[in-house]
Amino acid sequence: MELNHEDATASASPEPTARAGSSPAASPSPAGRSSVPGDDPAADRHDRLQRKMSSRHLTMISFGGVIGTGLFLSSGYTISQAGPLGTVLAYAIGALLVYLVMLCLGELSVAMPWTGAFHVYAKELIGPGTGFVVAVLYWLTWTIALGSEFTAAGAIMRHWFPTTPVWMWSAIFIVVVFASNVFSVRVFAEAESWLAGVKVFAIIAFIVLGTLAIVGLIPMVDGSPAPGLGGLTRDGIFPRGLGAVLTTMLTVNFAFSGTELIGVAAGETADPGRNIPRAIRTTLVRLTVFFIGSIVVMAALIPWQEAGVSASPFVTVLDMIGVSHAGDIMNVVVVTAILSAANSGLFASTRMLWSLANEGTIPRIVAHTNMRGVPVVALALSMVGGLLALLSSVVAADTVYLVLVSISGLAVVIVWMAIAACQFLFRRRWLAAGHDAAELGYRTPGYPLVPIAAFIGSAASCILIVFDPSQRSALYWTVPFVALCYAGHALALRRGWVKA
């Protein structure tokens, strides 16, 4: 099935998806869109996407985006800063925040399953300027990630092939990821499912082995007794204080970024009313188990003072329990994780550009798709953006690249704030139009407390970095960048360069 925002299909009607027995086509559109389902015969057939993804694909794409270096590498930094129990608490708070945000996104994505998701929701429900800012920030987040991921994957490959240059491996991975995205959305989804599956298997194996070591069923290499869970509080509950836990929240939230990819893929999902809620439930449960389970194992086994980013805490734990070739095993997993995240990142950034073009914010040519429904122009531009980010990391690491990374660090949390605000406004508009919440195909529970809590929690994690000197620059660069985006969009709108 093909679609775009302007010629909604029956499964992607711009009307909120109602429960069986109600008539969505007869309902007023909260987003001000056409209420006529079905294809528009006059619409351009060369800017359509296709609904090819199942709930399994959605779940694995979300895993692909969220399970990456943030868990495999950066979790060690969090343990060293917040302490063992503090890290578990920080990740638990992060998981709760993501849960609240995804509850909000679930209602929006089922009611309005459009590609571009929260960018389009923000445009329609908050304002065109906010929609533009959300799209730019999210596109920037993933293109910056692309550059760093290709470099990191190339560097890891030199572990096995020390005489080969990093750029050669980076080039190979660039071709592989581009090919995964260019053939069809189905090829992308299947490739991502297999890549993400490797990470899922590795995490499950790690949690099982670590748990057996904690209770003493697997002996420690150094002959020390089974640590149990005493390692979580060996030096007190919060050895660096509660403040250290709070200031690591941005790092933790960034580790959870990518969960919202389910919303980006909503416009290419078959039967979104059924598959999106299922994918959200599955993703949230598994991510919570995988993240919290892994963190508990690492925090219980690794002395928190020795944790850091110089070595993966996964490798440290496997070495402690005598797993041979632990470094090689985890390098394979990390390379797979990086490729998976790059694959999802290119998909997400491509759909953001396509959506901006489809909405008339950037030239319409960017929305052009091939016969398989792949937005090839947006795909090429997003890959170029990733390559420019990679180049900036080499030639301007302390200036341009540092600024871009600082902005992208906060960008996802700002997107979460927009999602929460959109759900709050959407439900209020829906009720004001005389409808009942029970008519919605999926509704966020606990309204209005859930979107309010999600918004406040996301905003708090942005504000708290003021107290962390190592992350403070992110706020200094992001605020003026966002202001510049708003001003630029307002000027373009006033001059008639973009559509309202």
244 pLDDT above the threshold of 60: yes
pLDDT tens for each residue of 453-492: 999 999 998 888 888 777 787 888 888 999 999 999 999 8
Task: Identify the domain containing residue 388 by its residue range.
Answer: 53-494
Q: Average pLDDT for residues 249-271, to the nearest whole number? A: 81
For residue 209, the model assigns a pLDDT of 92
For residue 399, the model assigns a pLDDT of 66
For residue 33, the model assigns a pLDDT of 47
289 pLDDT above the threshold of 90: no
Task: Report the range out of 326-330, 380-384, 394-398, 475-479 with the highest average pLDDT.
Answer: 380-384
Q: Which residue has the higher pLDDT, 51 or 47?
A: 51
**Is-contact 87 231, C-beta < 8 A?**
no
Distances (CA, A) of 179 to 48, 326, 379: 20, 31, 11
Q: Which residue has the higher pLDDT, 24 or 384?
A: 384
For residue 220, the model assigns a pLDDT of 87
91 is a domain residue: yes
Distances (CA, A) of 190 to 70, 183, 199, 260, 286: 23, 12, 15, 19, 19
Q: Name the amino acid, one letter, at 332.
A: V
Considering the entire predicted model, what is its pTM? 0.85
Distance of CA 36 to the CA centre of its chain: 32
Instruction: Spell out the residues 6+ positions from residue 477 whose beta carbon is closer than 8 angstroms to its own.
Output: 403, 406, 407
CATH of the domain at 385: 1.20.1740.10
Identify the weakest region by mean pLDDT among 117-126, 209-218, 236-245, 360-369. Answer: 236-245
Q: Average pLDDT for residues 366-373, to the nearest whole number? A: 87
For residue 43, the model assigns a pLDDT of 38
For residue 47, the model assigns a pLDDT of 54
> In which residue are the tokens 């995804």 written?
102
Q: Whole-angstrom Cα distance, residue 176 to residue 306?
A: 36
pLDDT tens for each residue of 61-91: 777 777 777 787 778 888 888 888 888 898 8
458 is a domain residue: yes
389 pLDDT above the threshold of 50: yes
298 pLDDT above the threshold of 50: yes
Instruction: Spell out the residues 6+ positions from residue 424 whose beta carbon is closer than 8 angstroms to its own.
Output: 104, 447, 448, 451, 452, 455
pLDDT tens for each residue of 122-156: 999 999 999 999 999 999 988 988 888 888 888 88
The total number of structural domains that make up the chain: 1
Confidence of residue 415 (pLDDT cuts 50, 70, 90): very high
Could you tell me what percent of the chain has a pLDDT over 90?
26
For residue 97, the model assigns a pLDDT of 93
For residue 398, the model assigns a pLDDT of 63
Could you tell me what percent of the chain has a pLDDT over 70?
88
47 is a domain residue: no
39 is a domain residue: no
22 is a domain residue: no
For residue 200, the model assigns a pLDDT of 87
For residue 34, the model assigns a pLDDT of 37
Q: Whole-angstrom Cα distance, residue 357 to residue 255?
A: 29
Confidence of residue 308 (pLDDT cuts 50, 70, 90): low
135 is a domain residue: yes
127 is a domain residue: yes
Identify the weakest region by mean pLDDT among 62-76, 239-253, 414-428, 477-491. Answer: 62-76
19 pLDDT above the threshold of 80: no
Q: Which has the closest alpha carbon to 101: 243, 208, 258?
A: 258
Region of 61 on the Ramachandran plot (φ > 0 left; ψ -120 to 50 alpha; else beta): alpha
Q: Look over the chain and give the mean of its residue pLDDT values, rounded to a whole number.
A: 81
Identify the weakest region by mean pLDDT among 323-337, 397-411, 456-470. Answer: 397-411
Q: Whole-angstrom Cα distance, residue 357 to residue 368?
A: 9
413 pLDDT above the threshold of 80: yes
42 is a domain residue: no
21 pLDDT above the threshold of 70: no
